[in-house]
């Protein structure tokens, strides 16, 4: 097989304690998955059906640097954990969903909040606010064999040493197995798929030069500098 143009690189993420990398296929992100964050964004935190948007595989960036993006003056941090799938399928049962997980990583769902706000107001898609270059800084993947399935414990984000976001993984409205089961009813999940699991309250803007430090129970720390 020859390709007519230069082939795009496979996005491959580092795995803690391994020389192997994790190839990314798709990136799904859940919206408003912690009640306190839904409230701060002006929404009812009741358990409505979940909703998802997508980022692009090459938006995931393990470099530790986040370039301030163009066409915005209000970029927000959203501290999250990412779920990496090793297998997939359709109509996956909640009880079996965790069998598909390869591992977990710290991740930031960086958001051009001003552009997302316009999109929301006009009933337009969110990509312009969410799926821009290097919009998802991500830490090394911790395999399930090492860390199990983190479902409770502190998740926090500090900017320049000041605590901005704090929550507990057990506050997710839709739990990881439920997100996998739900997505698999609408899409065929497959090895390499990544799910960002939502953010606790306290989202806010960053500026060039800021240092963000994200942490979550069992997944260590991720330092990302805004450049
Ligand atoms: Mn998010």
CA 164 from centre of chain? 17
Rounded average pLDDT per 10-residue block, the chain, 227 residues: 92 97 98 88 82 98 98 98 98 98 98 97 97 98 97 97 97 96 98 98 97 97 98
pLDDT of residue 103: 98
Q: How far is CA 64 from the centre of its chain?
A: 15
CA atoms within 13 A on the CB side of 174: 25
The pLDDT assigned to 38 comes to 80
Residue 178 lies in a domain: yes
Parent domain of 46: 12-226
Compute, in angstroms, the gap from residue 33 CA to the centroid of ligand 1.
Answer: 8
Is 5 part of a structural domain of the chain? no
Query: Is residue 2 domain-resident?
Result: no
Asked if residue 67 belongs to a domain, the reply is yes
Domain of 220, CATH number, reads: 3.90.850.10
Listed residue (84, 116, 97) closest to 12, CA to CA: 84
**pLDDT given for residue 37 in this prediction:** 81
| Residue 141 falls inside a structural domain | yes
Residue 78 lies in a domain: yes
Gap from CA of 182 to ligand 1 centroid (Å)? 17
Q: How far is the CA of 133 from the centre of ligand 1 (A)?
A: 16
Instruction: Give the torsion sign (CA, 69, 70, 73, 74).
Output: negative
Q: How far is the CA of 40 from the centre of ligand 1 (A)?
A: 13
The rounded Å distance from CA 1 to ligand 1 centre is 39
Q: Round to whole Å and give the CA distance between 115 and 128.
A: 7
Q: Judge whether 1 lies within some domain.
A: no
Burial class (CB in 10 A: 0-12, 13-18, 19+), 224: buried
**Angle (CA) 174 39 203, round 5°:** 85
The answer to the question of residue 148 being in a domain is yes
User: How many domains is the chain partitioned into structurally?
Assistant: 1
């Amino acid at each position: 097989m020859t390709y007519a143009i230069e082939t795009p690189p496979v996005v491959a993420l580092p795995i803690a304690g391994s020389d192997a990398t994790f190839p990314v296929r798709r990136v799904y992100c859940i919206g408003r998955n912690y009640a306190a964050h839904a409230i701060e964004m002006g929404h009812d935190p009741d358990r409505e059906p979940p909703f998802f948007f997508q980022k692009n595989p090459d938006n995931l960036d393990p470099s530790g640097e986040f370039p301030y993006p163009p066409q915005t003056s209000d970029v927000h941090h959203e501290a999250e954990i990412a779920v990496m799938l090793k297998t997939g399928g359709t109509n996956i049962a909640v009880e079996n969903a965790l069998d598909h997980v390869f591992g977990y990583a710290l991740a930031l769902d960086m958001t051009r909040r001003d552009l997302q706000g316009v999109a929301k107001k006009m009933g337009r898609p969110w990509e312009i606010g969410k799926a821009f270059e290097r919009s998802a800084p991500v830490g090394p993947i911790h395999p399930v064999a090492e860390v199990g399935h983190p479902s409770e414990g502190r998740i926090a984000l500090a900017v320049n040493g000041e605590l901005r976001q704090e929550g507990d993984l057990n506050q997710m409205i839709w739990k990881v197995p439920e997100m996998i089961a739900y997505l698999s009813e609408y899409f065929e999940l497959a090895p390499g798929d990544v799910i960002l699991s939502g953010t606790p309250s306290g989202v806010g803007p960053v500026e060039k030069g800021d240092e963000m430090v994200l942490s979550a129970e069992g997944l260590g720390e991720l330092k990302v500098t805004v450049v």
